[in-house]
């Protein structure tokens, strides 16, 4: 199995939080490197009249890939990511 070298700089980059364009919408941006950001935002679907959490990979203000997540699963995902990182010494 290949191993990946993780430097302290890549781990300790600050997480910037700011309010989304519409008041009341949550927005968080994580700087990844090479101009890439992971954005986490609370969005609303007019078509289905539901809220969802959008995870996106973004560079230069353009979203390259997105994943929409039911808000009820956000905490479960966060806990699974922490467990995964702990189990794999990341």
Residue 41 lies in a domain: yes
Number of folded domains that form the chain: 1
Domain with 40, as residue range(s), is: 8-87
CATH of the domain at 61: 2.30.31
Phi and psi, residue 8, nearest 5°: -65, -30
Q: Who has greater pLDDT, 64 or 3?
A: 64
User: 28 in a domain, yes or no?
Assistant: yes
pLDDT digits (tens, 9 = 90+) for 19-71: 444 444 588 899 999 999 999 999 888 888 899 999 999 998 888 899 999 99
> What pTM was estimated for this model as a whole?
0.63
Domain annotation covers residue 63: yes
Rg (CA), the chain: 15
- What is the torsion angle, in degrees rounded to the nearest 10, for the CA atoms of residue 67, residue 70, residue 72 and residue 76? -30
- Separation CA 8–CA 33 (nearest Å): 13
């Amino acid at each position: 199995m290949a191993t990946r070298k993780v430097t302290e700089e890549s781990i300790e980059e600050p997480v910037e939080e700011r309010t989304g364009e519409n008041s009341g919408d949550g927005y968080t941006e994580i700087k990844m490197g090479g101009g890439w950001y992971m954005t986490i935002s609370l969005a609303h679907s007019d078509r289905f009249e539901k809220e969802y959490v959008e995870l996106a990979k973004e560079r230069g203000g353009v979203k390259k890939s997105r994943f929409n997540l039911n808000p009820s699963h956000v905490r479960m995902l966060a806990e699974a990511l922490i467990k995964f990182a702990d189990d794999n010494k990341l």
